[in-house]
Each structure stands twice: as C-alpha cells, then as structure tokens.
Amino acid sequence: MVESNVPLLAMPSGSILQFLLMTVPLLCVYLYFLFLAYERPSIADPDNPRYEDDRIRLTDILYTYLATLVPFSSLVVYMLWFVPMRRGLSRRYESDAIIILGDVKYTESYYDRSRILNADEGGIGNADRASRVVRNCLHRLCGWMTNGFALRNNYAYVVYDLERVANHPACDYEERGGESLSGIITKRVRVYHRYPRERVSILVLPEYPYSGQPKMDMEADWASFAGCVRTPSREGEGGGGGGGEEDVIIPKRDRGLGVLAVATFWICFLVLASYYVADRIEVIDDAYDDEDAVAAWRAFKIVLGGVVPGVAIGGNWIRWKIHERWMLHSGSKEKSERTGKNDEVERREEEGGGGGGSYIQMS
C-alpha cells in the first residue's frame, strides 16, 4: 500500500495492460466488421437467399474505421510531440528558474458543502427531511462525478508576491521593458503533493513572472519521466524546522512506449482495414443501391490526407499553446497590501532564518 505522503506520479503499474485490454473488445467488434466485408461479395447476388437479409452497410463500417482512426492518430502525435514539448518546458524550471517563497492553497472536496441542507434542523416535517436527505445525496454524487471527470483534486492554487520576483538578482524583466512587477499572484497549478502548504519554495522563470510552480511538485513531475528523484519531506519543505519525515524516493514510471505501441498498432490496423473495406465496396457497388464506391474512396482519401493530419497535428498544437499559456502566463493579480518596510523585514527574516529561498538560482 502506498503511503499518503508519496505523490501519485502515474497510473498504476498495470495501466498499459489495462489500456490494451480495454481496446480488445473494440478490436473484436472491428474484426467482425472485417469479416462482414470479406463475406459481403459472396452474397451480393439477387439470387442469393441471404441477399434480402438485414445487413450492416460497408460504407458505415468504413466511416466507423475512419472515425476511430482520428483519436488514435491524435494520441500518437500527442506522445511523440506534445509530451516531449511539455517535458522540455518542465525541465526549464530545473535549469533556469529562480526560487521565491509562497503558499500553496489546496482543498480536497468532492462537493460544495455550502449547498448541503441541514436535514436535522428543527421545525421541519418528515417529508421535508426526507427531501433534503435525497437532495444532499444527489448533490454529493453529482459533485463526486464532476470532480472525478474534471480531475479537480489534482489542482491547487499557488500564491506568491511579484515584488519578490522583481527583487531577485537574476530577474531583469522590468529592465527589458516589462511592466512593473507588484501585487499578489494567484495561479492554478498541477500538484502531486495534495495538501496545503505555507512558505514553500516556488519556482519562477525570470522572463515569465507569472510562471510560478511549487518546487516539490515540479520535482515530482521530473520524477515521473526521469529516473529516481529525491523529493523533500513535508516538514522539511514547509520550512518548519528539523526532523520530520524522511525524503521520498520516487522511481521512474514512464510507460509512454507501451501506449505508443498500442496506438501505433491501431493506426496500422485501421488504415489497412479501411482500405480493404473501400475495395470491397467497389466490388459490390453494382449490387446495392446504398453502396457508393466513389464516395467511399473519396472519404478514405479526405480523412487520411486532411482530417487526420489536421486534427492530430492541429489539435495537439492548439493544446500545446493552451498548456504553454497556462504554465507561463496564467494567473490573477491582486494589489499587494504589504508596505515596503514590512516586506524588507520579512526578507531579512527569511535570510537570517536559514530559509534563503527567496534568492536562490537553480543550477
């Protein structure tokens, strides 16, 4: 059993096998479709007693194959292009980022507790009490399902002061003509350590002041695709002083090659199967009025030559731009309520207390 302080870095060890097994039923159905395409010319004769039987149009089978080809192609482009780009951006934090202090606000909640009705309130009848219980159960269930699909519990908010970024010796953002850095940034980030933290190390790329990410969670992200990484304990990272839990060793858990192999197999199968079905449609074109070989070959060429590259490459490019903007430029800014004197005192306390985290250059 995994300890609670070990971050969830990847899917369980059987995830590749699970992914493969999940596609096996679909493969069985598609092989049956392929058998129908193989058998169809033998019954495409008005004198055949099976000619008038209900049947699945080969054109519909072709469209099904081509439609399935699009998501698997997108997955392959995602694994071959998007994932390396995301990892490269993450690695920039390891080599180029500066460290300042900030907070991580995290609340693990499957539903909005403010909307839960009190079923034990006095003065209400049994019918109202039962109605409130049912409404509360439905609200909790809907909230749990919504959070599960949205993976909301994988995200938190990091809060840090832009003035700390501006005062760092390695930051020349304002000197290069950028806006004056002041105010408190609240930014939604991906987290692996799911608990709130105060006065922890925040990594910020000097040229992107809004790019703050918790250092512990970035180390966990690096661990998910690069060997064993030692992540600091909860007490040690929080600046609370000595002792505490031992550091966590996180092993490499990259299983992208397995997913890539399964997706590549599906692409090869779907392209060849689509070609074969289109050829079978050409054979039976004269026997059935609802089969059109010209339209089938046109759909085959349009999907392979336009739709698949457009969706797979264009969709992943758009997704990358959204991810890049989310990492480097997102966040809301509020006016800082600190005075310059208070901020200077706080910085001295950090330096004198051994934290020193506000002015450390990553190497």
Q: Is 336 contained in some domain? A: yes
User: 93 near 203, Cβ under 8 Å?
Assistant: yes
Q: Tens-digit pLDDT profile for the chain (363 aa)?
A: 333 333 433 344 446 677 778 889 999 999 999 999 999 888 877 777 787 777 889 999 999 999 999 999 999 999 999 999 999 999 999 889 999 999 999 876 554 454 544 544 544 556 666 776 677 677 666 665 655 554 567 888 999 988 888 888 777 776 666 667 788 999 999 888 888 999 999 999 988 889 999 999 998 888 877 654 455 555 445 444 444 444 444 445 456 788 888 999 999 999 999 999 999 999 988 888 888 899 999 999 999 999 999 999 999 999 999 999 999 998 888 876 544 444 443 454 444 443 434 444 443
pLDDT value of residue 176: 66
Give the helix, strand, coil percentages of the chain, each rounded to 5: 55, 10, 35
What is the rounded radius of gyration, in angstroms, for the C-alpha atoms of the chain?
28
pLDDT value of residue 277: 95
**What is the number of structural domains in the chain?**
1
**Residue 288 half-sphere exposure, CB side, CA atoms within 13 Å?**
24
The Cα–Cα gap between 211 and 65 comes to 42
* CA distance readout (Å), 324 to 211, 309, 317, 328: 10, 22, 10, 6
The Cα–Cα gap between 210 and 203 comes to 10
In 10 A of CB 77, how many CB atoms?
A: 20
Range of the domain at 48: 15-106+151-361
The Cα–Cα gap between 209 and 179 comes to 10
End-to-end C-alpha distance for the chain, whole angstroms: 35
Q: Is 84 contained in some domain? A: yes
Q: Which residue has the tokens 């392929």?
A: 34
Q: Is 2 contained in some domain? A: no
**Tokens representing 278?**
């289109």
The Cα–Cα gap between 68 and 80 comes to 19
Q: Is 303 contained in some domain? A: yes
**Tokens representing 212?**
């703050």
Contacts of residue 227, Cβ cutoff 8 Å, sequence gap at least 6: 252
Q: Is 138 contained in some domain? A: no
The Cα–Cα gap between 301 and 298 comes to 5
Beta bridge pairs of residue 250: 229
pLDDT value of residue 286: 84
Q: Within its chain, how far is the Cα of 310 from the centroid? A: 21
**Any alpha helices (H) in the chain, and if so which ranges?**
15-43, 58-77, 83-96, 126-150, 162-167, 215-223, 234-237, 256-283, 293-302, 308-309, 315-328, 340-352
The Cα–Cα gap between 202 and 121 comes to 45
- Of the candidates 276, 293, 289, 300, which has an alpha carbon nearest to the alpha carbon of residue 33? 276
